[in-house]
Structure 1
Amino acid sequence: MKKSILSLAIFAIALISSADVVAQKFPKLDVSPMDAASFPTNWRDANKLVKVVYSRPQLKGRDLEKLAPKDKVWRLGANESAEITFYKDVIFGGKKVKAGTYSMYAIPTDGDWTIILSNQINYWGSYFYKQDQDVVRVSGKVSKPDNEIEAFSIVFEGEGTTAEMHLGWANTVVTVPVTAQETNN
């Protein structure tokens, strides 16, 4: 009898709990889902140098220049501004940057793109971007991919404490080197 009452009580609690979960309102899936890229790229390696969190818009037949207009600050993706975290002091595109989290923007041009790290974090898009909050501006070397890239993507390649960050979309890949700074003990 005691087992039956205990079983009935557990069943009732489980039923009430599941009813609460079903009653929650969840938003529709974002058409530009959030993603992350890090270096080292192996998920088992917890000793990361850098990680970028960004959203992945799709071309869907649209022109890159309409989505990321030339000579204007662009948020590098969709939705919130891309955020880059350096877990160690680095040389980013040839300039020293302290460990920390920054927003990352780009200014697309006909030549190499300008990549910007800003102290402003947790902002939607680039609408509130302020140049006086820049930490650094570096040049990102532009190249062409073998095949068109439908979804904006960020990947890292490298070895040891030296990597290249590749930003790819449409017929454009922008590359910025990232290297851990030497520590003098």
Structure 2
Amino acid sequence: MKKSIVSLIVFAIALISTNEAFAQKFPKMDVSPMDAASYPNNWRDANKLVKVIYSRPQLKGRDLGKLAPKDKVWRTGANEAAEITFYKKLKFGGKEVKPGTYTLFTIPQEESWTVILSNQKNIWGAYFYDKKQDVLRVPAKVSKSNNNIEAFSIAFDGEKDNIKMHMGWGNTVVTVPIAVEKAVKESEK
């Protein structure tokens, strides 16, 4: 009987030790968690026109001008630079863009922000931004929000093929129009 109890205890200790040795260590949730926004934004509609993946830094009492400095290329969020995917040929800020995935950079300014689509991929921040990789640059309208937007956010709204991408943080909202080209719509019929 004693041998059985001792064997059981040894077996239990070995099992616990084995589980601890192979236990995966998962990181804590990032302070600027990754998020995604798409249009149409209804999860039931799989026929998307555009989707952006970005991280959401929070102000936490800090100044927006220090986190996204004016006249400097910004990663458009936190951590990795934001990536935007277009699923159809579109006009982004009035300029034609082909289907594909691009990195989304911005240059904050007082009256209007410059929004950049780049061929660079998997970039951390904007530290290695290369202007030669730009696909296009468009001006984006700046407006003020009545509410403080604590965490950087991207949202889409509009109707059918004429939509707007809004980027908001603090009391700043930056808007870029997006439209499906008529020639593309006709060829899809």
Normalising by structure 2, we get a TM-score of 0.86
* 2:145 partner SS: coil
Shift of 1:21: 10
Counting only pairs closer than 5 Å after superposition, residues 120-159 of structure 1 correspond to structure 2 as 120-159=120-159
Looking at structure 2, the residues matched to 69 and 113 of structure 1 have their Cα atoms a distance apart, in angstroms, of: 11
* 1:132 partner SS: helix
Residue matched to 1:41? 41
Looking at structure 2, the residues matched to 36 and 21 of structure 1 have their Cα atoms a distance apart, in angstroms, of: 35
Amino acid across the alignment from 1:152 = F
Instruction: State the number of aligned residues.
Output: 171
Residue matched to 1:86? 86
Residue matched to 1:106? 106
Residue matched to 1:160? 160
Unaligned runs of 5+ in 2: 1-14
Unaligned runs of 5+ in 1: 1-14
Looking at structure 1, the residues matched to 54 and 181 of structure 2 have their Cα atoms a distance apart, in angstroms, of: 25
Shift of 1:61: 0.1
Amino acid across the alignment from 2:169 = W
Shift of 1:19: 3.5
Structure 1 runs (4+) greater than 6 angstroms displaced: none
Amino acid across the alignment from 2:46 = A
Looking at structure 2, the residues matched to 161 and 39 of structure 1 have their Cα atoms a distance apart, in angstroms, of: 10
Looking at structure 2, the residues matched to 129 and 21 of structure 1 have their Cα atoms a distance apart, in angstroms, of: 41
Looking at structure 1, the residues matched to 117 and 21 of structure 2 have their Cα atoms a distance apart, in angstroms, of: 40
Looking at structure 2, the residues matched to 29 and 21 of structure 1 have their Cα atoms a distance apart, in angstroms, of: 23
* 1:78 partner SS: coil
Amino acid across the alignment from 1:147 = N
* 1:144 partner SS: strand
* Cα deviation digits, residues 138-157 of structure 1 (max 9, x gap): 01100001201000000000
Amino acid across the alignment from 1:87 = Y
Amino acid across the alignment from 1:96 = E
Looking at structure 2, the residues matched to 83 and 57 of structure 1 have their Cα atoms a distance apart, in angstroms, of: 16
Percentage of matched positions with identical amino acids: 68
Residue matched to 2:9? none
Larger radius of gyration: 2
Residue matched to 1:59? 59
Residue matched to 1:10? none
Residue matched to 1:5? none
Amino acid across the alignment from 2:38 = S
* 1:69 partner SS: coil
CA RMSD in angstroms comes to 1.8
